[in-house]
Homo-oligomer: A and B are copies of this chain.
Amino acid sequence: MIDFQTQPDRYRHWVLRIDDRVAFLDMAVDPGAGLHPGYELKLNSYDLGVDIELADAVQRLRFEHPEVGAVVIGSTLDRMFCAGANIGMLASSSHPLKVNFCKFTNETRNAMEDATRHSGQRYLAAIGGNAAGGGYELALATDHLMLIDDRNAAVSLPELPLLGVLPGTGGLTRLTDKRHVRRDRADVFCTLEEGIKGKKALDWRLVDELVPAPAFDETVARRAREFAAATDRPALANGVELTPVVRKFDDDVIEYTQVRVKFDRIRHVASITLHGPQESPPVDGDEAVDAGADFWPLRLARELEDAILHLRANELEIGSILIRSEGDMGLVLAYDTFLLSQADHWFGRELLLYWARLLRRVDVTSRTIITLVEPGSCFGGFMAELVLAADRSYMLLGERFEGDGDIAGLAFTESNRFGFPMSNGLSRIETRFWGDDEGAARASQAIGEKLDAGSALDAGLITDAIDDLDWDDELRIILEERAAFSPDGLTGMEANLRFPGPETLETKIFGRLTAWQNWVFSRPNASGEEGALRRYGTGVRPAYDQRRV
């Protein structure tokens, strides 16, 4: 089982040091501590385990260190920044594992950009040695790339010449769409095994700053301090420690405190139930900080995120995820109001941004997501985003036959308008009605109302409303049907239908780039017996099927 929970005192691969308002996060990969046997993580090459620690550090810096305004990604190795994804790991991984690895690493890099852009925590790359492949892609996710000028250190994307695959962790897209490297230069660069160093790397905009070797560390630190000085994060606030996520695994159930996951493996279904809060929100952001990791919206987010990541990595045959909720809608809406009201408090801002990132993880989770709105559920405000993030949503119409007379309610708020942008830059409501002004207007009128099934259906905010008589049967049929479809066909369909409208750097990475990379991965020229991934390091050249597709 791959565990996505870790903490700094358990890191094997990173050294985190905080100096006043600057964090130094140095890669120091332990070659012998790969997630799986069979490969050695030499030269700061990485596997999913290395990236889980990086993601953890990026997350903790936001919550535990409100004072940190700049983060330097560096390396403890001499002459090597990072050699990229470990090739032995790639060659020995199954297709689903390779793809899942790339997705998670993409999300980690996006989280770095999100911190830079929205959270006043600007990332720098201190490239004191070679940054190759995924190593350079990691650097590309920072806002300022500083390359040592020692006649030796180069940046490179040697995936194509060495491995026959793409720089698929955002590399190709960030070259052209973030750094605006001209396409023909990008083409040349991506075919140069040895990469580009020195002044040419600067001229081609592959890095932002070239630093003479003797002054490297000092210049990096100074630049980081300058960036940190410009942050809007508070210098003296207390952080929120991300204490361990509490969970208990049984055969068919995972119990968290606010989240419960139940498996029906025969039907390839997992059901996730989210619990509403037990008490009212605090009076302000500082009081929320005092609640720490127990603060309900944070706890819920961390548990849901862990559940989603666990399903992705460890439950490959779960094809459909049902999302339910149970709780007091009034309290949920009170928290929703509270979060929006604290958007200018550093912790409030972090909570909103975290939920936005978590929801974007849901958007790119390649499982069918179905949200169920039933009597007793509490999908309101930010929780109602899960109704919009789903491939389909169903709401129980009227009372349950043997219920207590309750009916299902659903409530969208201002936070659904602005709070949680998708990776296309739009809200989920805007995306849902993209190009349909009439539908958008109708939905907009429903925001702020408490909706029953009929009014939610009329507003186009759910897929269907079903009464109790048909509820179980309809649901069974939908899930059986889903389980009978090609899992690959579903993955492809959902990846397309979830992203109508405009595209951005992020959607292009998950769309165009990832889809092509997955295709390349699945082809014999990469993964076959004689393919480049398998032949790498054997001294035997790969044998390619020369037919262009």
Contacts and interface: CB of A to CB of B under 8 A. Distances in A.
Interface of A: 94-96, 99-100, 159-161, 163-166, 172-173, 175-177, 180, 182-188, 190-191, 268, 316-319, 366-367, 390-393, 431-436, 439, 460, 463, 481-483, 485-503, 508, 511-513, 515-520, 522-523, 525-526, 532, 542, 544-549
A548 B318 contact: yes
Contact of A439 (B182, B503, B517): B182
A497 B183 contact: yes
Q: Which 5 A-B pairs have the closest CB atoms?
A: A164-B486, A515-B515, A176-B500, A180-B435, A503-B503
Contacts of A508: 503, 511
Given A186-B497, A391-B184, A500-B176, A517 B492 contact: yes
Contact of A503 (B436, B495, B502, B548): B502
18 contacts: A96-B548, A96-B549, A161-B485, A164-B488, A166-B493, A172-B496, A176-B497, A180-B439, A317-B548, A487-B544, A488-B520, A488-B549, A491-B516, A492-B517, A496-B513, A511-B511, A512-B515, A515-B516
Given A488-B525, A488-B549, A172 B497 contact: yes
B463 A185 contact: yes
Given A166-B493, A515-B515, 9 more contacts: A94-B547, A95-B549, A166-B489, A176-B497, A180-B500, A486-B525, A488-B523, A488-B526, A503-B503
A496 B175 CA distance: 10
A186 B434 CA distance: 13
Contacts of A503: 502-503, 508, 512
Copies in the complex: 2
Nearest to A496: B172
Contacts of A177: 434-435, 500-501
Most B CB atoms within 10 A — which of A180, A185, A366, A436? A180
B485 A545 contact: no
Contact of A485 (B191, B490, B491, B500): B191
A191 B493 CA distance: 10
Contacts of A176: 434, 496-497, 500-501
A125 to B, nearest CB: 20
Contact of A549 (B159, B186, B366): B366
A535 to B, nearest CB: 11
A492 B164 CA distance: 10
B190 A493 contact: yes
A516 B522 CA distance: 12
Contacts of A493: 160, 166, 172, 187, 190
Contacts of A516: 491-492, 495-496, 515
B160 A485 contact: yes
Given A183-B497, A493-B190, A512-B499, A96 B547 contact: yes
Contacts of A165: 486, 489, 492
A498 B491 CA distance: 25
